[in-house]
Amino acid sequence: MTHALDVFGWFDNEYDDDGFRTCSVTGFDVHRTVENHVKLFGVTAVVFLLIGGLFATTVATTRWELIGLLEPGDYYKHLSMHAWSMLLFWIVFMEVAILYVGGPMVLGRKLPLPSLAKVGYVVMIAGVLTIYYAIWTASGNPVADNAPLLTAYVPLEVNPLFYAGAIVYIVGIVVAALPFFLTIWYEKRENGGTLPLVTFGAFVTGIIAVEALVGGLVAFAGALAYNFGLAEWFDAGVYRQWFWIIGHGTQQINLVAMIVVWYLFTHVLAGAEVVSEKVSRTAFILYLFFINLGAAHHLMVDPGLSVGWRVWNTSYAFYGATFASLVHAFTIPAGLEAGRRKRGKGGGLFGWLTSAPWKNPMFSTSIFAIILFGFLGGITGVMMGQLQLNMSWHNTFATVGHFHSTVVLGTTVTFMGVVYFVIRTMFMREFVSSKLASFQPYLYCSAMAVTALMMMYLGILYGIPRRTAEVVRNIPRTDFSLIEAAPLFNVFGVFALLAITGGALFVLLAVGSLLFGDRIEPGGNGDLVADGGLEMATDPEDPVHAYEMRGTFVLCLFFLGVFVVAYALNWFLLTQLWSIGA
């Protein structure tokens, strides 16, 4: 039944009398309420990706000072728009959709209280619009009305509406997440038993999200009070601690959410299995306890914090989460390797990889994300999280390179795959061009990887600061400049524009397929189903842990080797410096 307002036919799948249909790819019993809200949040997310991408163009071509597109005042506004659109809007709207997939869709349940999802959606949008307004109308007067950037550090004078908008946005997210938590509650009460791994991971994601969001509420409410002169004590140092609970915490939501997607997609699209429930679940539990301490990494070179506090929080507490990531770095590819060997698709050391469905953009995005997140984002994150190494990374362009490796090469790439998946299996549309859809992840990931690497080189080797409109060719009021970095910036600029082209191609494919893609009839997604189907995974007589994982082992050893070398190089550079510190 098509709703009168549904002019594109986006919400018109056929459901049975109870409102369910069976997905021919995953075997999920999908309820109408779940599917429609996944579509709603997913499509909205793509709009923010488009907005953020437009600002990526202006921001990148300003930092590439050969072009130097924007004046400084405009630059900081555009940078704020880019950061909030991408980090908070595109990604979080996707994450709400992923919670609905990981919870009610995997469990074959209705979305409880769908009205809450709608209220949450509207409140989130209200927050988004308020934030956009506050950013866009900032006069740029340094003592009155600054662009907030991502962080809006107290006591920088920022329009109070910005903090208010952020609070509204956060409340909206929590409301939108409630149906997910209710799902888990009902499932445990009615069926008991162990949750499927994907749902378990999504649940952990949800808890980490709420922790981060509550931190954000305190940060922004405190900043608002400070702004009105009501809380003098909520100063720079206090704000930084609270802000980074959400500032970094949201990135931890990304991390756990994308790991959930990796388990789901490698299984559904390529026949991966869980090699050890015990190990994978323990890793999720480690995240639950330790990953929010990643926030402490932002305070490594801050005054006022003791050495003990910093060393403990970034290392021992945090390595609980680092270890968890090392665990997933093995278990996900190992699941793919063992699962594909079981299906007869894995000759030799890497046959399981070479025979995988590389033309399927949902699969390739996940694998590229695993590799690039691990090598570029994960390794650099642990390095810059060391007390001393942080001195050479903090607030340089290298930091920007690090988080473009985690948030873009990891999360955005993974979520692009999710959008492709939603288009094919929920909107039931063919891609307008399956060749371009296959090609897009290759273009985007390779160009973005070079861009991120260039950012890191520029930051570490030339000390290029982040968050500045101009520093390479000219610094006002001095003859000094960082002109030696100009050639590398040319490489950065070209690849950034290539990456943006890859991102634009994604938006074109997504929107084009939604509007003009051929409709897929029920059962018509057979080409997506993993080799050998999914039933094999439930055969108790054929346990997956008994299959070979030597290819994964070799890959992981290579990864550890790169890690050790990169670590040693960073320390070598640091020890070349003059002596500093008590």
Partner 1 sequence: MTSPIKPPKGNWWDQPVNRRESIWLGLGVGWALVLFGWMSAFTRIGDQNPIGETYRVTEDELREKVDAFKDAAEEREDGAYVPDGDDVFVVGQRFDWDGLPVVLETGREYDFHLSSYDVQHGFSIRPEHALSQQINLHVMPGEEWVVPMEFDEPGTYHVLCNEFCGEGHRGMHGTIIVEEGSQ
Alpha carbon 321 to its chain centroid, in Å, reads 17
Asked if 315 is part of the footprint of partner 1 (rule: CB under 8 A), the reply reads yes
- What's the chain's length in residues? 582
From the number of C-beta atoms within 10 Å of its C-beta (0-12, 13-18, 19+), residue 210 rates as middle
Tell me the closest approach of the beta carbon of residue 72 to partner 1, in angstroms.
6
Contacts of 111 (CB under 8 A, 6+ apart): 31, 33, 34, 37, 100, 104, 117, 179, 183
Q: What is the 3-state secondary structure of 302-315?
A: CCCCCHHHHHHHHH
Which of 67, 560, 562, 569 lies at the binding interface for partner 1 (CB under 8 A)? 560
Tell me the closest approach of the beta carbon of residue 378 to partner 1, in angstroms.
12
Q: Residue 342 in contact with residue 547, Cβ under 8 Å?
A: yes
For partner 1, the closer CB: 526 or 581:
581
Site for partner 1 in 453-482 (CB under 8 A): 460-463, 465-471, 475-478, 480, 482
Site for partner 1 in 398-457 (CB under 8 A): none
Q: Is the peptide bond before 155 cis (omega within 30 degrees of 0)?
A: yes
Which of 1, 7, 142, 572 lies at the binding interface for partner 1 (CB under 8 A)? 142
Query: Packing angle between helix 318-342 and helix 277-290, nearest 10 degrees?
Result: 160
Which of 193, 229, 487, 526 lies at the binding interface for partner 1 (CB under 8 A)? 193
DSSP 184: H
Tell me the closest approach of the beta carbon of residue 123 to partner 1, in angstroms.
29
Site for partner 1 in 347-386 (CB under 8 A): 382, 386
Site for partner 1 in 61-100 (CB under 8 A): 72-73, 76
For partner 1, the closer CB: 325 or 440:
325
Backbone angles phi, psi at 22, to 5 degrees: -105, 130
Candidate segments 302-310, 356-364, 431-439, 493-501, binder of partner 1 by CB under 8 A: 302-310
| Structure token pair of residue 140 | 């740029």
Tell me the closest approach of the beta carbon of residue 278 to partner 1, in angstroms.
5
For partner 1, the closer CB: 230 or 546:
546
Cα–Cα dist 260/256, whole Å: 6
| Residue with token string 């950034």 | 496
Q: Residue 397 in contact with residue 458, Cβ under 8 Å?
A: yes
Site for partner 1 in 481-500 (CB under 8 A): 482, 484-485
Site for partner 1 in 497-536 (CB under 8 A): 534
Binding pattern for the stretch 198-217 against partner 1, x by CB under 8 A and - elsewhere: x-------------------
Give ∠ CA 506-512-514 in degrees, rounded to 5: 105
Tell me the closest approach of the beta carbon of residue 440 to partner 1, in angstroms.
26
Which residues are bridge partners to 465 per DSSP?
396
Tell me the closest approach of the beta carbon of residue 225 to partner 1, in angstroms.
17
| Structure token pair of residue 107 | 């469990």
Asked if 188 is part of the footprint of partner 1 (rule: CB under 8 A), the reply reads no
Which of 36, 396, 411, 451 lies at the binding interface for partner 1 (CB under 8 A)? 396
Asked if 572 is part of the footprint of partner 1 (rule: CB under 8 A), the reply reads no
Count of residues interacting with partner 1 (CB under 8 A): 118
Among residues 193, 368, 184, 172, which one has the least CA distance to residue 266?
368
| Structure token pair of residue 150 | 């991502």
* Number of Cβ within a 10 Å radius of residue 570: 20
Asked if 230 is part of the footprint of partner 1 (rule: CB under 8 A), the reply reads no
For partner 1, the closer CB: 77 or 429:
77
Asked if 162 is part of the footprint of partner 1 (rule: CB under 8 A), the reply reads no
Which of 543, 562, 565, 569 lies at the binding interface for partner 1 (CB under 8 A)? 543
Which of 10, 26, 130, 428 lies at the binding interface for partner 1 (CB under 8 A)? 26
Give ∠ CA 360-365-366 in degrees, rounded to 5: 105
Which residues are bridge partners to 493 per DSSP?
none
Sign of the CA dihedral with 287 first, then 290, 295, and 300 last: negative
Candidate segments 47-55, 203-211, 492-500, 548-556, binder of partner 1 by CB under 8 A: 548-556
DSSP 396: B
Binding pattern for the stretch 102-141 against partner 1, x by CB under 8 A and - elsewhere: ----x---------------------------------xx
